[in-house]
């Protein structure tokens, strides 16, 4: 009621003084804490400190914002939390047998107007934590051992560096190398990098025209295909141990020669190079006669004549053998029939004396005329 009797300037001055007093009070009470890193199974110390406290209440909350300590009273029923020190300016609490589930952000809170909060992050380190390198190719995972070095920093903080050395080929270009951290404090943490493998060019000469034999009077077109990393920056054509035909045309990676003749025979080479090295491929040109179509055109008459001669000679030999065979068997027949006829006085006697004849002269003889 006393305020109502004041003028407007007096009311404004009153609220200004109250606000300034509260602001000075809040600014004068600075609440601080610190982050904690602890090895699994050991003890973590959480500190809430206040500068210039005016009997404001200090309390400590867990990551779920449950009160661990309110001043020097522990509402949370977890005996691992123990009061180390309590005063108007400090609340010091220990957490024994730390596990991975204890990780998180703890809150120091000071009951002022407005309330103040400070945060302490607890990180739990695995005593046997290690890192590994994995090289992956699509669905295939292959682990490779790395050379690890451990550097201790401060407050039981460590930096682990793992180095991997391996021999790569062009097939490994674009393959992902994944570094996987096997550590309970950082679940499923990994980093990956895709390999950039540089290699010298791979060169291949392709015949665009003609298909089949290269004949006199026709045209020839060759294309040089080169692949490498980085991309080949230079591609050259040359003829090994000879000069290029005067009317050969080179356009980029293509070589064109018209009206072929046998003087163009030889080895044509395409050479490609990049920053890694150079490579080449050869094409051997042989110009055939214009009548050539991929099969022999000239018939070897000498060979055919020899074959015919052998055939005729074989037939003659066969006829001679057969003639002698039949002649011999025919003579034998006549000899058997005439045996004993040389001493016969007449035809009847010759028949009687012949082999197979009858010696009995009294036998009846029949004659056929």
The domain spans of the chain are 30-125, 147-195, 199-285
Mean model confidence pLDDT for the chain: 78
In this predicted model, what pLDDT tens digit does every residue of 74-114 receive, in sequence order?
A: 999 899 999 999 988 899 999 999 988 899 999 999 888 78
- Cβ neighbours, 10 Å, residue 366: 5
Q: Is the pLDDT of residue 27 over 80?
A: no
- 8 Å CB contact between 275 and 244: no
The SS3 assignment for 82 reads strand
pLDDT tier for residue 348 given thresholds of 50, 70 and 90: low
H or E segment to which residue 351 belongs: helix 347-353
- Could you give the CA distance from residue 136 to residue 142 in angstroms, rounded to a whole number? 6
DSSP codes of every residue in 13-61: HHHHHHHHHHHHHHHHSEEE---EEEETTS-EEEEEEEES--S--EEEE
Q: Which CATH class is domain 199-285?
A: mainly beta
In this predicted model, what pLDDT tens digit does every residue of 43-75 receive, in sequence order?
A: 999 999 888 777 788 999 999 999 999 989 999
Closest CA to 175 of 163, 187, 192: 192
Q: Give me the CATH code for the 30-125 domain, please.
A: 2.60.40.10
CATH topology agreement for domains 30-125 and 199-285? yes
Q: Is the pLDDT of residue 20 over 50?
A: no
DSSP codes of every residue in 254-272: EEEE-S--GGG-EEEEEEE
H or E segment to which residue 181 belongs: strand 176-183
- Could you give the CA distance from residue 53 to residue 110 in angstroms, rounded to a whole number? 9
pLDDT tier for residue 336 given thresholds of 50, 70 and 90: low
- Degrees, nearest 5: CA angle 15-20-25: 130
Residue 320 sits at φ, ψ, to 5 deg, of -65, -45
- Cβ neighbours, 10 Å, residue 250: 14
Phi/psi-derived region of residue 329, left when phi > 0, alpha when psi is between -120 and 50, beta in every other case: alpha
């Amino acid at each position: 009621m006393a305020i109502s009797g004041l003028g407007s300037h007096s009311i404004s001055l009153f609220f200004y003084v109250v606000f300034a007093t509260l602001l000075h009070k809040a600014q004068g009470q600075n609440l601080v804490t610190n982050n904690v890193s602890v090895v699994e199974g050991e003890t973590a110390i959480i500190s809430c400190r206040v500068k210039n406290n005016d009997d404001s209440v200090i309390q400590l909350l867990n990551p779920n914002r449950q009160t661990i300590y309110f001043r020097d009273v522990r509402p949370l029923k977890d005996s691992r939390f123990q009061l180390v020190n309590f005063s108007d300016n400090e609340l010091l609490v220990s957490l024994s047998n730390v596990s991975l589930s204890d990780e998180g952000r703890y809150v120091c809170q000071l009951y002022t107007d407005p309330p103040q909060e400070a945060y302490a992050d607890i990180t739990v380190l695995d005593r046997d934590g290690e890192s590994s390198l994995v090289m992956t190719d699509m669905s295939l995972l292959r682990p490779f051992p790395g050379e690890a070095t451990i550097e201790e920093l401060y407050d039981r903080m460590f930096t682990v560096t793992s180095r991997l050395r391996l021999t790569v080929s062009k097939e490994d270009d674009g393959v992902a190398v994944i570094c996987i951290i096997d550590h309970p404090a950082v679940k499923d943490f990994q980093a990956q990098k895709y390999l950039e493998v540089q290699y010298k060019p791979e060169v291949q000469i392709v015949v665009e025209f003609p298909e089949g034999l290269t004949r006199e009077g026709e045209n020839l077109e060759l294309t040089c295909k080169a692949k490498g990393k980085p991309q080949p920056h230079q591609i050259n054509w040359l003829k090994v141990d000879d000069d290029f035909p005067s009317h050969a045309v080179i356009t980029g990676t293509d070589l064109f020669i018209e009206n072929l003749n046998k003087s163009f025979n030889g080895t044509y080479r395409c050479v490609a190079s990049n920053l890694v090295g150079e490579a080449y491929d050869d094409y051997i040109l042989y110009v055939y006669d214009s009548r050539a179509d991929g099969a022999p055109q000239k018939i070897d008459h000498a060979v055919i004549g020899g074959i015919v001669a052998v055939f005729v000679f074989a037939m003659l030999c066969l006829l001679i053998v057969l003639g002698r065979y039949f002649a011999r068997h025919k003579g034998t027949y006549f000899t058997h029939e005439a045996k004993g006829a040389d001493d016969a006085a007449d035809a009847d006697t010759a028949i009687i004396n012949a082999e197979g004849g009858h010696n009995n002269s009294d036998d009846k003889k029949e004659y056929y005329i």
